[in-house]
Amino acid sequence: MDNVVELSLPSDGLILQAHLGRPPAPGGMAPPAVVFTHGFPSEPGGGANSYASFPALIERVSSTMGWVAMSFQFRGAGASEGDFSLSGWLADIAAAVAFVRHELRVSGVWLAGFGTGGSLAVCAGAADPDIRGVAAVAAPADFADWARSPRQLLEHARQVGTISTPGFPPAMDEWAAELAEHRAESAAARLAPRPLLVMHGSDDDLVPQIDARAVAEAHGAADLRIITGAGHRLRHDPRAVAVLLGWLERQRHRAVV
């Protein structure tokens, strides 16, 4: 992966681990850029494990498709500093987008996220009118389940290592309130009419398929793809990867028309 480099991404005074891939020969026109976001880990060390395959994905997107591509580990995950909160993870997406926009020569920025990262990509896209489009893969429509049991989520986050600072969060009520505040379903309506790909596995046992349909319906013109027989981890399903790459290719063509 000669065209992929590891870098330190600043976000709110924290340092996040990131990888950046650039086209081998960008030519005269500025290339499009995509920022990939990972999901919430389900096991100890999962922050590193769930991210491990992303450098290979950005190498493929940058070297064979001509995109600038970035992936990063959210605060609290893997080698990145900090502790998990939804507002913090949204700030991390904004920091990655700002880096790509201001440090690199690109024609526009798209977001593509998986699981929790997919939901937050929709929210980030809705908040930033200059995001050109979003792909949400196996993404929950909201975080209502977490909001109903915030202390259970807090304990899980400590177990998997996304929260490690003693005494965090300093204000439990504020941390918990964010779980009900950020909703991909309502954000999708604000994202429209910009492009939205919603992809889900028909046999996802972690996020119900109905969540994908709710997000797509709220947008009104989303490209909804249900992968038959697939579970939650679509990042490792070749059919899902092919759908995502095909969507990116169509976005690239539309960007230059």
Q: What's the pLDDT tens digit per position in 21-63?
A: 999 875 678 999 999 999 998 777 655 556 778 999 999 999 9
- What are the tokens at 185? 């379903």
Q: How many CA atoms lie within 13 A of 141 on its CB side?
A: 15
**CATH number for 204:** 3.40.50.1820
- What are the tokens at 118? 């997919």
| Residue-range definition of the domain harbouring residue 129 | 4-256
- What are the tokens at 88? 């913090």
**Domain count across the chain:** 1
- pLDDT above 90: residue 254: no
Q: Please tell me what DSSP assigns to residue 228.
A: T
pTM: 0.95
DSSP letters for 6-69: EEEEEETTEEEEEEEE--S---SSPPPEEEEE----SSTTHHHHTTTTHHHHHHHHHHHH--EE
- For residue 244, give the nearest of 69, 73, 87 by alpha carbon: 69
pLDDT for residue 26: 58
Phi, psi of 195 (to 5 degrees): -65, 140
Q: How far is CA 150 from CA 86, 138, 169, in A?
A: 12, 22, 11
Q: What's the pLDDT tens digit per position in 199-249?
A: 999 999 999 999 999 999 999 999 999 999 999 999 999 999 999 999 999
CA distance linking residue 238 with residue 112, whole number of Å: 16
Give residues with Cβ within 8 angstroms of 250, minimum separation 6: none
pLDDT for residue 52: 77
